[in-house]
Amino acid sequence: MAGTGGEKPLLFLWGKRSLHRLPLIVFTDLFRSRHLLRLLVKRDLNARYRRAYLGYAWAMLEPLLLAVVYTFIFTILVGSSDPLYSVKIILGIIGWSTFARSLTTSTKSLNSSINLFQFARVPKTVFATSGTLTNAVLALISLTCLIPFYFIHELPITVNLFMLPVWLMILSFTGWAIGLLLAPIACKIPDILNLINFLVRAGFFLSPVMWTYDMFNSRFGSGWHAIVAHMNPTVVPITGMRDAVIGESSAIPGYGYGMCFCIGLLAYIFGAMVFERKAHRAVVNV
Amino acid sequence: MIVVMRLEDITLEYPVPRQYRKENILPSGVRNISLEVKQGEVLGIIGRNGSGKSTLLKIMAGVFPPDSGTIAARGSVSLLAGVGVGFHKELTGRENAYLYGALMGRTTEQIDELIEEIQSFAELNHHFDRPIRTYSSGMKSRLGISVATAFKPDLLLIDEVLGVGDVSFRQKSENRVKDLIAESGSVVIVSHSMGLLKSICTRMLLIENGSVVEMGIPTDVMNTYSQQMRVNE
């Protein structure tokens, strides 16, 4: 505190940090800033629905209303015979939104939080992470819209249900990690933000939101199409979410799980390295 | 005397906008700046708009990393820049005060101890628990000054934030900063208010085009600055 400067050592503000330690440093910084992180998440949650009459109910209503629209299109207009199609669509929407929002908020974090880190020296990963955590909390709230379907379709309540939030967290983590990788680049090349907006829209159709893993399997089999499909980091987690709720087991091959975890892990390792090395200088461009 | 901050050969250049790159324009920023801030010292920084004063403060605060050179600090450093910067319009004054405190590295308990002082200094009364979007610009300024000056760092960096609010609040803010100077011991202040700088600074620095022109006794540096301004007119 004030006036006690003489007791403290003179420390370099921008000391060198070895590249291979950066992924660990990101987590250490986040743990040290947990108080700020908690306040930022609270701020985002409070601010998001403060003026809405229905408040947090919107987190639940949004996927529910979208599911009504898509179910109408696919069951009535296209003629899908699957009675659980609406449940699958709701899970697809929640899973995809969680990934897409994590990716978008962490990619935009350096641009959108410039006001907050212009006057204080705080780890910039905090701003990329707070948006992701806010979206994860909203996604968990939105899962409550599944409760009526448990009664309507007499869905089984099994141990697998515990995997539902786990898959959701994997989607959130992967989106956040890819966002870390892209955020410093987006400061220098703003076109990245437009590209992300496009990919989020295109990804909605390329991910198992309106289609299911079984539909894909029966149409394309397990050839090279399947390998390409598993490169999409949302395929396995969204299918996992559906399996956890419906109590089925999709025939996801072992390499599918492997690719899903490797993509998430590699995105985090490279994302943390690029973010920690480039983000501080990148904000000068904003 | 104990050094609280040391800058050695600091350079930071902003990228030149694409449309000006062919014109061989000198990038803005700061170049080859070396200085020490000692405990108990009040260092004033003057210079024309765009000379690099605010950039230098951001480098000192650790917000921007320099392109080259080293910077070392002893203890906590806070930058008081732009009143109301970082406030969220949907949150109340109280909620924003907690958020600001957390950004300055304070815990909820530490902010709890200061929250009444923040509320009374800002003179916001019941408005303190209303969303910022309902505040006038003067009310936002009062809250900003109150919050920013409540957290006392080892080295306080002030960037042109004392000219806000009505006359009485301006005087109150200046007194608050003088108290802070007395308590924290070390202050670096950027201002165009020569009267204020003359009354509080022990040393002064003149910057032009990102480089140090003169550093020394306030009256000498101010004279050089006045001459420079006259020549440019």
Q: What is the pLDDT of residues A211-259, one digit of tens each?
A: 888 888 888 877 788 888 999 999 999 999 999 999 888 888 899 999 9
Q: Which residue of B has its CA nearest to A114?
A: B86
Higher pLDDT, A202 or B17: A202
Low-confidence residues of chain A, pLDDT below 70? 1-7, 78
Are the Cβ atoms of B2 and A12 closer than 8 angstroms? no
- Residue B80 with chain A: CB contacts under 8 Å: 119
Torsion of CA A158, A163, A165, A168, to 10 degrees: -130
Query: For A7-35, b where at least 16 C-beta lie within 10 A, e where not — what string?
Result: eeeeeebeeeeeeeebbebbeebbeebeb
Q: What is the distance of C-alpha B154 from the center of its chain?
A: 14
- Residue B4 with chain A: CB contacts under 8 Å: 5
Distance CA B103, CA B126 (A): 25
Name the 3-class secondary structure at A280: helix
Confidence band for B83, pLDDT divided at 50, 70 and 90: low
pLDDT at residue A130, rounded to an integer:
94
Question: Does position B203 have pLDDT exceeding 60, yes or no?
Answer: yes
Give residue limits of the domains in chain B. 1-9+76-192, 202-233
Say if residues B64 and B81 touch (Cβ distance below 8 Å): no
Q: Which residue of B has its CA nearest to A277?
A: B65
Q: Which residue of B has its CA nearest to A3?
A: B184
> What fold, for B1-9+76-192?
Rossmann fold (3.40.50)
Say if residues A238 and A92 touch (Cβ distance below 8 Å): yes
Enumerate chain A positions whose Cβ falls within 8 A of a Cβ in B.
1-6, 8-14, 35-36, 39-40, 43, 46-47, 50-51, 115-122, 280-281, 283-285
Confidence band for B162, pLDDT divided at 50, 70 and 90: low
Say if residues B148 and B83 touch (Cβ distance below 8 Å): yes
- Residue A43 with chain B: CB contacts under 8 Å: 88, 91, 95, 99
* The dihedral sign for the CA sequence A236, A241, A246, A247: positive
pLDDT at residue A5, rounded to an integer:
44
Are the Cβ atoms of B86 and A9 closer than 8 angstroms? no
Non-local (6+) Cβ contacts of B225 within 8 A are: B46, B47, B206
As for the ipTM of the complex, it is: 0.78
| Residues written for chain A | 286
pLDDT at residue B228, rounded to an integer:
84
Say which of B63, B85, B153 has its CB closest to residue A2.
B153
- Residue A29 with chain B: CB contacts under 8 Å: none
Are the Cβ atoms of B86 and A116 closer than 8 angstroms? yes
pLDDT at residue A4, rounded to an integer:
45
CB neighbour class for B205 (10 Å; exposed up to 12, middle 13-18, buried from 19): buried
| Phi, psi dihedrals of residue B201, rounded to the nearest 5° | -80, 140
Which token pair is B183? 């308590």
| Residue at token pair 């515990």 | A162
pLDDT at residue A260, rounded to an integer:
95
pLDDT at residue B194, rounded to an integer:
86
Non-local (6+) Cβ contacts of B159 within 8 A are: B53, B54, B57, B79, B80, B81, B82, B190
pLDDT at residue A6, rounded to an integer:
46
Confidence band for B115, pLDDT divided at 50, 70 and 90: very high
Say if residues A272 and A173 touch (Cβ distance below 8 Å): no
Cα separations (Å) of A272 from A241, A252, B3?
Answer: 27, 29, 34
Confidence band for B82, pLDDT divided at 50, 70 and 90: low
Give residue limits of the domains in chain A. 20-44+54-285
- Rounded mean pLDDT of chain B? 85
Q: What amino acid occupies position B231?
A: V
Helix axes A163-188, A125-142, angle to 10 degrees: 140
| Phi, psi dihedrals of residue A173, rounded to the nearest 5° | -60, -45
Number of other residues whose CB lies within 10 A of the CB of residue B207: 24
Per-residue pLDDT tens over the stretch B18-71: 777 777 777 788 999 999 999 888 999 999 988 999 899 999 988 888 999 999
Q: Which residue of B has its CA nearest to A41?
A: B99
